[in-house]
Structures are given as C-alpha cells and as structure tokens.
Amino acid sequence: MIFNPDPAAAWAGRKDTVAIAWSELSTSAVAVRIAADRMRSTTAGN
C-alpha cells in the first residue's frame, strides 16, 4: 500500500532531511576535531 501519491516528492523531502542531518553531523565533527586539537596543543604547551 502506497500512502503517498507522489513518491518523488517524498524522496525529495527525505533527501532534504538527510542533507540537513549530514550537515549538522559534519559541523559537530568539525567542532569536536577543533576541540581535540586545542586540547592537544595545550597539553603539548605544558
């Protein structure tokens, strides 16, 4: 049973959701990497 009459529109919406989730994921990954680099440089500095 297909509830959505337009699967292409549903797929487009899903792709948007995936893109948003992916950008949030990569943003937080970058933030984690920056924090790790800062921690590493502070420990190296001491």
pLDDT at 10: 74
pLDDT at 46: 54
How confident is the model over 1-46, as pLDDT tens digits?
A: 556 567 777 777 788 888 888 899 999 999 999 999 999 888 766 5
Question: DSSP string covering 23-44, please?
Answer: HHHHHHHHHHHHHHHHHHHHHH
pLDDT at 9: 75
Q: pTM here?
A: 0.48
CA–CA dist 33, 30 (Å, integer): 5
Query: 10 in helix, strand or coil?
Result: helix
